[in-house]
A and B are shown apart, each in its own frame.
Chain A
């Protein structure tokens, strides 16, 4: 399945200026691939850093998490729910991401059990790896997770 910008807004809760991809080339079967076009107008470039604009590394990890989360958000009953990031591990940043770059965000859903999702992602620009990480996340409103908590 592919998603354009308006469809993305239906499936997930993040909004500009905290939505870090523009379209989804593929989501399904445990894989989601998104695209982020970076323009000079991004809110973080003037402050990170003046005269040397580059995308903050943790926002690259956030972009990968947002794309990976679509693996869950496109499942029946999850459309539009909020995603809570629980951990981000093995974050590696390889080179600066600049205005004008097109970032490809490739993610895999490694597991999804008990309402807890584990994924991994890699971001590339012009085929070169710029960022990779592993992430764990859940839905803020997860019936599955709630049903599995102890009754006291």
Chain B
């Protein structure tokens, strides 16, 4: 499974969306991506990629695309 597939699966499972919806997803763009969903998403991403996100990165993680940019700082290539 590629990193993009792993990353997309986290959104699909955590936010109950289709893979096709993910590219345009933004914080609060769907009902489940609220403050609780955000931290659940962060926890799942940390588990899947075995990383620990910095506080600033968690706050900046405002969309699916932004998240990909942030993860590159942790040597995760897409």
Residues of A that sit less than 8 Å from B by CB: 84, 86-87, 113-116, 118, 136, 138, 145-146, 148-152
Given contacts A113-B43, A114-B43, A116-B43, contact A148 B36 (CB under 8 A): no
Count of A-B residue pairs with CB < 8 Å: 48
By the criterion of a CB under 8 Å from any partner CB, how many residues of chain B are at the interface? Answer: 18
Contact, CB under 8 Å: B35 / A149? yes
- Cα(A150)–Cα(B42), bound, Å: 12
Chain B residues with a Cβ under 8 A of chain A: 26-28, 35-36, 38-40, 42-43, 46, 52, 55, 58-62
Nearest CB in chain A to that of B63: its residue? A150
User: Please, which residue of chain B has its CB at the minimum distance from the CB of A111?
Assistant: B43
Are the CB atoms of B27 and A150 closer together than 8 Å?
Answer: yes
List 10 additional contacts besides A84-B36, A152-B62; criterion CB under 8 Å: A116-B40, A118-B43, A138-B39, A145-B39, A148-B42, A149-B38, A150-B60, A150-B62, A151-B59, A152-B26
B-side interface mostly:
helix
- Nearest neighbor of A139 in chain B, beta-carbon distance: B36
Q: Is the CB of B35 within 8 A of A146?
A: yes
Do residues B27 and A145 form an inter-chain contact, with CB atoms below 8 A?
no
Q: How far is the CB of B17 from chain A (nearest CB, A)?
A: 17
Distance between Cα atoms of A116 and B52 in the complex (Å): 13
A115 near B39: Cβ-Cβ < 8 Å:
yes
> A19 vs B11: C-alpha distance in the bound complex, in angstroms?
33
**Cα distance A114–B56 in the bound complex, in angstroms:** 12
Query: How far is A146 from B43 in the complex, measured between Cα atoms in Å?
Result: 15
- Chain A min CB distance to B37 (Å): 9
Output the nearest chain A residue to B66 by Cβ-Cβ distance.
A150
* A136 touching B27 in the complex, CB below 8 Å, given contacts A150-B60, A152-B62: no
**How close is A89's CB to chain B, nearest CB, in angstroms?**
12
